[in-house]
Structure 1
């Protein structure tokens, strides 16, 4: 069985992988800026540095809530916060259109983590653009989350699907599949579950998380 330490190490590996590109671009940009004397090229370098810095900051903010303990344990999150984080992850020039239909004004911390991580999986499935529809509602004491990624040539690693439904052997977990495994653990520990369906047109993922008594919906 994968220990919490092993899972944390795999997730850290994934976060480092995702941050390597924008931070590497920052390093390269600084090197170019140091050797560049043409005013126009220096301005272009500064523009690229600004873009890379924003991408890095947006990813860190997303990871802080999707994987960390931002705001403390057991607290609820204003639904506008995960929306802003997903929008930041998409970026201003994204080819992916966001359809946000989250009903509750606040989400529990576990529901927020599941929603953000499923959203990231959905976004990764749209390398050629498309639409990312994110929905959530409270029903019968539980938060129901639905993510639909639709677009041309959906890209979805079967290992991620196996991690979501629990059929992937734990000794085969990797940095790529660890977040999906974490989502399933969060949902099942809350007394709920997660599922997905894949077609040529769309990847649909859903989760149900019963709310602890007294939680804000």
Structure 2
């Protein structure tokens, strides 16, 4: 059984919309409160909430533009500062996650950046109570290797996301929740590479080996 690229694109669009509903909804609610509020202190608080919601919305759109879309063109290297700033913003919006960045070099292949961003997103989702996010990457002569580790209390990880990362999820069973993992598994397979993950009670470790030559 197969899944068309159109089906996967639709699922990824649905995922983006799902993740944007909260911050955009907060903007709408904040504007409604502001229109009815007369107290100066409360109006200032509304402005602060609006600013935070606008920032979160912008951060997520920038993240998804590169994680799902064609930002920066096709087949190009990407400065490591770009995924670092995007992941840092996403983790920072959570407020309870500390980020340790250990990516070597100045650039990464576009494919590796997409995989890294999506692994980081999965890792952040696995830390509902906060924790530590460790990101490492090394671009070798033949392949780029990525490692993402989420450590914290009560790791939350959907086994079907794990199946998608391992390439074992039936394409027709891919959902809005598992679509990003399925997409990066396809990206890894296209270049002859693969993804791995390991789960314990207090940590989720995910990795990727992405051979060069087809980026």
- Specify if TM > 0.5: yes
Is the contact made by 2:56 and 2:93 (CA closer than 8 Å) also made in structure 1? no
1:92 positional shift: 5.8
Match of 1:96 in 2: 97
Distance, in Å, in 2 between the alignment partners of 1:92 and 1:112 is 20
Aligned to 1:153: 154
In the alignment, structure 1 residue 9 sits paired with structure 2 residue 10: yes
Which residue of structure 2 aligns with residue 39 of structure 1? 40
Q: Is the 8 A contact 2:155 2:202 kept in 1?
A: yes
Q: Aligned pair in 2 of structure 1 residues 119, 14: CA closer, same or farther (>3 Å)?
A: same
5+ unaligned residues in a row in structure 2: which ranges? none
**Cα distance in 2, alignment partners of residues 91 and 34 from structure 1:** 29
Aligned to 2:127: 126
CA distance in 2, matches of 1:15, 1:92: 17
Query: Which residue number corresponds to residue 145 of structure 2?
Result: 144
Q: State how far apart, in whole Å, the 2-side matches of 1:92 and 1:22 are.
A: 11
Aligned residues: 214
Going from structure 1 to structure 2, the CA distance change for 1:191 and 1:93 (only over 3 Å counts) comes to closer
Structure 1 regions of 5+ residues with no counterpart?
A: none
Match of 1:53 in 2: 54
1:166 aligned to 2:167?
A: yes
CA-atom RMSD, angstroms?
1.2
> Deviations 1:135-163 (Å, cap 9, x if unpaired)?
00023410000011111110000110011
Question: Shift of the alpha carbon at 1:91?
Answer: 1.9
Distance 1:105 1:139 in 2: 13
TM-score, normalised to structure 1, is 0.96
Tell me the residue number matched to 1:178.
179
What is the CA–CA distance in structure 2 between the aligned matches of 1:183 and 1:92, rounded to whole Å? 24
**Is 1:62–2:60 an aligned residue pair?**
no
Report if aligned partners of 2:195, 2:207 keep a CA contact under 8 Å in 1: yes
Q: Taking structure 1 as reference, are residues 142 and 202 closer, same or farther at Cα in structure 2, changes over 3 Å only?
A: same
Residue aligning to 2:88: 87
How high is the TM-score relative to the length of structure 2?
0.97
Q: 1:21 to 1:92 in 2, by over 3 A?
A: closer
Moved over 3 A (4+): none
Alpha-carbon distance in structure 1 between the residues aligned to 2:67 and 2:102: 19
User: Equivalent residues in 2 for 1:22-37 (5 A)?
Assistant: 22-37=23-38
Mapped contact 2:166–2:195 kept (Cα < 8 A): yes
